[in-house]
Amino acid sequence: MKNIGKKPVKIFKIRNRKGYAAICDGNLTEGRTPIQAFDRMLKAVKRISKKN
């Protein structure tokens, strides 16, 4: 499990699909690799924090 700031990010393999998913702070992202899913999560969290 990785963290973005103090928020934990859970990365896991998606069943019946190729790829991985990441969940953090109410956001869900997908990617072909765990690193790609985490990178997309960084962008999603950054986008949400700008709105608030």
Tokens describing residue 52? 């608030």
The span from the CA of 2 to the CA of 50, in Å, is 22
The span from the CA of 35 to the CA of 40, in Å, is 9
The span from the CA of 42 to the CA of 46, in Å, is 6
How many Cβ atoms are within 10 Å of 24's Cβ, its own excluded?
23
pTM score over 0.95:
no
Give the model confidence (pLDDT) of 1-47 as tens digits. Answer: 788 888 899 999 999 989 999 999 889 999 999 999 999 999 998 88
3 state DSSP class of 25: coil
Name the one residue in this structure whose structure tokens are 């709105």: 51
